């Protein structure tokens, strides 16, 4: 029985439940961190009960510079993350190609330390977008560029990696989900880890996941996991507000991913919560 106040066992418990070792071919699965929780990124719900312990876990995980990590950021939090983590070796902007100002920002923070930085021009389009604006929408060409970059990261030994988009909620989250899933070979495990790391709002771009699923071959599980990220996050918050344990929350999230809604069901849920909030 895991102590309700001790979240340090999250990764061990998650991987045990899924019959996975914490390493694959000698590689430690990277932690996942969302934004820079020690730099004033508030949670948008009361921090009390078990949520306090999840918050402490997220903060401790973020501040650990030894464990390799996937850091999900926004245009704002990317600067803090890059400053806080000199061990980061890969940097991806999912939304636009990097320009001179971006490279100057990276150099100002990192100097001449090696970092492989790339940008991918892509709008945050999926079926939830109310209009039909499709300029640079996700397609096989631009999604394949991301996949190839992630393969390059894996070949380099999965060092710490910063992935950002505009808000740190959709394109960067799904890219992190893809990266982690390519190591665990289990989008459900990786999706659960993403949801448990969420600091504030976290969701996922469905179209990028759908295309990637078809290219890599996750048998629909990557896409369905991405579609149900928001639903899983809402359930996480609900359970924690009622005093649920870490194990109870993990079981509930994985149950959602094992019994996913399709896009139509999830879109209805998304629109209801979007306008409600």
pLDDT in tens, 16-36: 888 887 665 555 799 999 999
Tell me the average pLDDT across 207-236.
96
> What is the pLDDT at residue 25?
55
pLDDT at 254 over 70: yes
Q: Which of 223, 218, 225 is nearest to 256 (CA)?
A: 225
pLDDT in tens, 48-102: 778 888 988 999 999 999 999 999 999 999 999 999 999 999 999 999 999 999 9
> What is the pLDDT at residue 38?
84
pTM score, whole prediction: 0.93
Burial 165-204 (b: 16+ CB within 10 A, else e): bbbbbbbbbbbbbbbbbbbbebbbbbbbbbbbbbbbbbbb
Domains, the chain, with CATH or none: 24-276 (3.90.190.10)
pLDDT at 272 over 70: no
> What is the pLDDT at residue 1?
44
> What is the pLDDT at residue 277?
44
> What is the pLDDT at residue 46?
59
The distance of Cα 234 from the centroid of its chain, to the nearest Å, equals 16
pLDDT in tens, 149-191: 999 999 999 999 999 999 999 999 999 999 999 999 999 999 9
Q: Could you tell me the end-to-end alpha-carbon distance of the chain, in angstroms, rounded to an integer? A: 36
Q: What percent of the chain has pLDDT over 70?
A: 89
Residue 228, CA distances (Å) to 104, 116, 143, 174, 234 in order = 37, 31, 20, 12, 10
> What is the pLDDT at residue 90?
99
Helix (H) and strand (E) counts for the chain?
Answer: 12, 7
User: Cα–Cα distance between 222 and 212 in angstroms, integer?
Assistant: 8
pLDDT, greater one: 109 or 17: 109
> What is the pLDDT at residue 51?
85
Which tokens belong to 247? 């194990």
Long-range CB contacts (within 8 A, 24+) of 238-244: 240/49, 240/50, 240/51, 240/54, 241/45, 241/46, 241/49, 241/51, 243/4, 243/49, 243/50, 244/50
> What is the pLDDT at residue 8?
84
Q: Which of 222, 178, 229 is nearest to 203 (CA)?
A: 229
Burial of 261 (0-12, 13-18, 19+ CB in 10 A): middle
User: Cα–Cα distance between 62 and 74 in angstroms, integer?
Assistant: 15
Helix 50-63 × helix 187-197 angle, to 10°: 100
pLDDT at 236 over 60: yes
pLDDT at 235 over 60: yes
> What is the pLDDT at residue 2?
46
> What is the pLDDT at residue 276?
47
Lowest average pLDDT, out of 41-50, 134-143, 206-215, goes to: 41-50
pLDDT at 134 over 70: no
- CA quadruple 140, 143, 145, 147: dihedral, nearest 10: -110
Contact 33, 69 (CB under 8 A): yes
Which tokens belong to 163? 């992935």
User: Cα–Cα distance between 178 and 208 in angstroms, integer?
Assistant: 9
Average pLDDT for the chain: 90
User: Cα–Cα distance between 4 and 74 in angstroms, integer?
Assistant: 31
- CA quadruple 120, 123, 124, 128: dihedral, nearest 10: -150
pLDDT at 221 over 80: yes
Tell me the average pLDDT across 188-215.
95
> What is the pLDDT at residue 21?
73
């Amino acid at each position: 029985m895991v102590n309700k106040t001790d979240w340090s066992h999250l990764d061990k418990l998650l991987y045990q439940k899924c019959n996975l070792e914490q390493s694959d071919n000698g590689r430690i699965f990277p932690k996942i961190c969302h934004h820079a929780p020690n730099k004033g990124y508030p949670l948008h719900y009361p921090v009390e009960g078990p949520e306090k312990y999840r918050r402490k876990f997220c903060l401790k995980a973020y501040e650990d510079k030894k464990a390799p990590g996937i850091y999900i950021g926004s245009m704002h939090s990317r600067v803090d993350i890059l400053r806080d983590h000199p061990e980061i070796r890969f940097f991806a902007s999912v939304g636009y190609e990097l320009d001179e100002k971006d490279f100057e920002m990276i150099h100002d923070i990192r100097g001449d330390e090696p970092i492989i930085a790339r940008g991918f021009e892509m709008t945050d389009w999926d079926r939830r977008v109310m209009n039909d604006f499709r300029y640079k929408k996700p397609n096989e060409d631009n999604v394949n560029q991301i996949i190839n970059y992630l393969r390059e990261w894996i070949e380099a030994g999965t060092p710490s990696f910063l992935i950002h988009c505009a808000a740190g909620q959709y394109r960067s989250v799904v890219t992190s989900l893809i990266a982690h899933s390519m190591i665990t070979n289990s989008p459900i495990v990786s999706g659960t880890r993403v949801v448990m790391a969420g600091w504030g709002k976290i969701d996922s771009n469905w179209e990028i996941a759908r295309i990637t699923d078809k290219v890599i071959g996750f048998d629909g599980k990557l896409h369905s996991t991405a579609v149900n990220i928001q639903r899983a996050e809402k359930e996480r918050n609900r359970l924690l507000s009622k005093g649920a344990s870490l194990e109870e929350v993990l079981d509930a999230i994985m149950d959602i991913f094992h019994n996913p809604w399709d896009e139509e069901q999830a879109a209805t849920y998304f629109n209801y919560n979007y306008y409600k909030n």
